[in-house]
Structure 1
Amino acid sequence: MEMDEFLKEINADIFWKYIKAYDFNENMQVKVEDKSVIIKTAYSHSQINYHNMQLFEFKVSNTYLHTDEFYLHFQMKNMKHALELFNEMLEIIQTLVNRPQVKILLSCSGGLTTGFFAMKLNECAKLLDKDFKFEAVAFNKLIETAENYDIILLAPQISYQHASLQEQLPNKIVLKIPTQFFAKYDVSKLIDLIEKVQVAEYKKEHEVLTLGEITCKHGEILTLVLIRNSLRVHIGYRLFDRNNKVLEDGEIIKNHVTIEDIFDIVDTMTLKHTHIDIISIATPGIINDGIVDVMKLSGMIDGTNLKKAFGKRYRQKIILCNDVNAAAVGYHACQNNYHNISVIFQPVSTNAGMGHIVNDQLLVGSHSLSGEVQFMPLKLSKSRFELNKTVKGTIELLVHEVLLCIVTIAPELVVICNSLLDLDKLKNELIKYLPKDYCPKIVRIDYLQDYCFIGSFILAIRECN
């Protein structure tokens, strides 16, 4: 046995003994087994598993909202890194000692009647020991306020807006307050209704996209996709075999990402699957000569030469691509009707990105700057970061971005990923600037990740062939 392997085994055993003997907080119930440690708080269930080949698995689940708050697996490399991950997990668990509060926003035309209803609901919730917090807002300020709430309740007089709001707020639960509850201020029945509506039960399900017919010969390809949302960073990974079938599909969730976190995923996968030939990574930012510039996007890796770092560590071919470019390639591969496509990803509170397919080929450009709309000196009423928090502001941004696509690429199809998009309003604004016949077809998607997986897979095959 080589010394490195010998030391890894020793360090892994020491680390495992350290975890089993750790003095956990009194508010944590701990059960220690041979190869696992289970940690419970009032509102969380967590588990640490010790597998063969010095592999550790950490998971924290929110038992109140039925969501995963933290998940990762890694092979033991050094004690310092392992302790950092363990402490990060403990910090997440500690936040779930007290019951997570469900924030509920009521809305009516002016906010007055729902304001009184919200006050009565808070009184009832306190009496019933329900950890709900109710607030009210006028309808004209609903969209810009909704981001910080879990559930949106609409008064009967604006219930006709339900479908539109659910489309604009795809990650929120939007409910109509029954007229009989609202008319009598029946707070107990409304709270009963809310309790039946779990956030996790209303998350949109979407099918994993398929690759269709890809006939190029290739070995096993590991794809990784980094996605930043308003709270955490998600690193999705998917392993494709030689016949384009998915062998593994998973996700790591963290508050911040380091290069070691990506190494942990790849180390684990290469240990389990010894025939991986290519590692393809899709990440936000400008990728120029292997260096990723994410323009200081919070929680993401910035300024690192990923290609060089991975090349030193792994024998596999390393492919890097921008996330929206990968999504454009993936979307193009999933259809047969369009040869010129622009994909726009306009997340809330961060810069937009574009990916362009021209005559069935990805347009990248010098220094990989194609689609980096953040550098365009657009004439806007407010900063990009202020505008993309509201429906009205988002439409203003997207009008500029779609027009930019039309006059430079002239796509047949524009695909937009944005949670606040109102397609009808966008189309009505566009025809103020150009004839209706010149407007391309515009569609909306809610999830970028599956298209990124497919696109990074295809780009890996193309580069290697």
Structure 2
Amino acid sequence: MKDVFVVSETTELEAETIMDESMKKAESLLNWIKEQQDGSYRIEEDRSDNKITLILHTDCADGYVTVNFLQFTIAEYRIVNKAEETVFYLHFELVDEEHARYLFKEMKEALLKQQDSGTINALLCCTCGLTTSYFTMKLNETAEASGTDIHFDAVPYEKLYEEGSTRDIVLIAPQIGYRLKDAAAIMKDIPVREIPVQIFSNYDALGMISFVKECVAEKKETKKAETADAIGSLQAGNGALLYVSIVDMEGRTQLAYRVCSDEKIVAESQIVKEKYVFSDIEDIIDLVTRTNPDIHEICLVTPGSVSEGKLTYAKAGIISMPVADMLKEKYGIEVILMNVTDAIALGYSLRECGGEDIAFYFLPTGSYAGSFALVHDGEILGTAGYLGGDQLSAITSITTFPMNPFSLQNTPEGNIELAARYMTGLITYTGCRRIAFYAKMIPEADVLRRKICEFIREEYVPEIIKTESVRRYIYEGAAELLKHYRK
């Protein structure tokens, strides 16, 4: 009994020592964060038995820096705007204070960007931007004179989608009112309205300001980020397989992970960031492998070209990086690298088509090409992602444009042109009979099909299906791809 007591006492002393070291590291970080206060926000501190939270208050959003003292010291950075949307979220084990400071600077930058949204930012749009530009000058003068916190800008139609998604309201001039339906369908998260003819024709600034206030005040559904309670879920149990997925969606990067054991999900979460760097992946793996030490395999699902464990993803500054070997050497865990469009395509085939053949085209907003994957007999054709190098080259070689494709990426008409021409190449080269696609700026499948019919005869055009989401297919497709990688 005495020996047992001594062992217990030693364990408690070790635990106290570890906790003291964790507290010192946390206090050092939090004190440094307090020193960064520059008047752009005010700080409130909240302490409990097992966590410390600093709340950074601004008029438009609140930032939360939380350090949790559990089995390991876990830091969480979160930004929640006044619509209760989580617009920034990440969590990591607090090991390297310099790295934690770097991530805080990124969070602070994102928080201060939210400050700019305190004013209602309204965007007017007409064909060329001339009439709305004049009206905008009058509107801003009237808003300033009346003390109204609204700022107006004007753009020609060709820049509507490039500029509109970041505004609080979009206002379409009557002369292009026929574009309202598509604009409202594409920019679902913000109010899109046609300017009343009586207001526009008379340049009625006061009437317009009242109209904007009414539109913004309307009750709108808020889209909350699907971020699970990371701290709670990470205590669910030890897993055997870690999935990490990266998807670029509408100007933000979504990094998500899931831990599976015995075909059950024991932990999962999602991180939302404006920009992605490779160390974000390492932060996730560091955290999850510490809390789930039985993980024996990591499946990394990523954009870019994947070939023999190497990744090329120019947007993140990654060129032919031997990611699989690097991570395996660092963590001592087998790492399998796969293309995210391949996973989406296979997951879509399994969930929506019973495993039948299908091509999938993924065209995120702001992309001038997108990416393809082709499922045949339950497998992805080609290698290196994007249908493989040979297939991509063949499709690109037979895809011609009447103008620079970069000029087509910012409007629905341009996206339809891009998708139709690439799909025509895909149909011509592969003979596929069903294509599913994700493209937020293409309102419906029928308009895309009609465009494709301009290039090939209608009887040769396959079934075209639009999907509103891709994330639901990633894990299922990745799990199926793993079976093929293990053969």
Instruction: Please tell me the TM-score bracket, short chain as reference.
Output: 0.7 to 0.9
Residue equivalent to 1:325? 342
Residue number in structure 2 paired with 1:211: none
Instruction: Look up the equivalent residue of 1:313 and give its one-letter code.
Output: K
Residue 259 of structure 1 corresponds to: 278
Q: Structure 2: how far apart are the matches of 1:99 and 1:165?
A: 21
Alpha carbons 1:8, 1:54 under 8 Å: kept: no
How many angstroms apart in 2 are the aligned matches of 1:402 and 1:145?
27
Asked if 1:42 corresponds to 2:59, the answer is yes
d(CA) in 1 for partners of 2:97 and 2:322?
25
- 1:453 equivalenced with 2:475 (yes/no): yes
- After the TM superposition, which residues 118-137 of structure 1 pair with which residues of structure 2 at under 5 Å, given as runs? 118-127=136-145, 129-137=147-155
Q: For 1:15-414, what aligned pairs fall within 5 Å after superposition? A: 15-22=25-32, 23=35, 24-34=37-47, 35-51=52-68, 52=70, 53-63=72-82, 66-97=84-115, 99-107=117-125, 114=132, 117-127=135-145, 129-137=147-155, 142-143=160-161, 146=164, 149-155=167-173, 158-170=176-188, 172-177=190-195, 185=204, 186-197=207-218, 201=221, 203=223, 220-229=240-249, 231-244=251-264, 246-294=265-313, 296-297=314-315, 299=316, 301-336=318-353, 339-350=356-367, 351-365=369-383, 367-368=384-385, 370=387, 375=393, 376-377=396-397, 378-414=399-435
Q: Which has the larger radius of gyration?
A: 2
**What SS does structure 2 have at the residue aligned with 1:382?**
coil
Task: Report the alpha carbon displacement of residue 119 of structure 1 after superposing the two structures with TM.
Answer: 4.3
Cα deviation for residue 96 of structure 1 reads 4.2
Instruction: Give CA deviations for 1:55-103 in whole Å, capped at 9, x if unaligned.
Output: 111112233x543343211112323322222332333334445554443
Question: Runs of 4+ in structure 1 displaced over 6 angstroms?
Answer: 5-11
Match of 1:46, as an amino acid? G
Q: Is contact 1:352-1:374 (8 Å) kept?
A: no
SS at match of 1:21: helix
Letter of the 2:373 counterpart: G
Give the percent of matched residue pairs that are identical in Structure 1 and Structure 2: 23
Contact 1:11 1:79 in 2 (8 A): no
Structure 1: 5+ residue runs without aligned partners?
Answer: 209-218
Aligned partner of 1:440 among 445, 462, 466: 462
* TM-score (norm: length of structure 2): 0.79
More displaced, 269-278 or 431-440?
Answer: 269-278
Which amino acid is the alignment partner of residue 14 of structure 1? Answer: K
How many Å separate the matches in 1 of 2:275 and 2:363?
A: 21
Distance across 1 between alignment mates of 2:324 and 2:407: 34
Deviation at residue 408 of structure 1 after TM alignment: 2.4
- RMSD value, Cα: 3.5
Q: CA deviation at 1:6?
A: 11
> Partner letter of residue 92 of structure 1?
A
SS in 2 for 1:87: helix
Counterpart AA for 2:377: N
Q: 1:107 to 1:383 in 2, by over 3 A?
A: closer
Question: Aligned with 2:247: secondary structure?
Answer: strand
Offset at residue 32 of structure 1 (A)? 2.5
Partner of residue 14 from structure 1, selected from 21, 24, 28: 24
Alignment-mate amino acid for residue 78 of structure 1 = D
Deviation at 1:28, TM superposition (A): 2.5
Unpaired segments ≥5 residues, structure 2 = 1-10, 229-238
1:461–1:315 distance in 2 versus 1, CA, 3 Å: farther
| Cα deviation digits, residues 403-448 of structure 1 (max 9, x gap) | 1221222222111211222534432232233221211111222332
Q: Which amino acid aligns with 1:26?
A: G
Amino acid at match of 1:30: I
Task: Kindly tell me the number of residue pairs found equivalent between the two proteins.
Answer: 446
Shift of 1:328: 0.3
In the superposition, the TM-score normalised over structure 1's length comes to 0.82
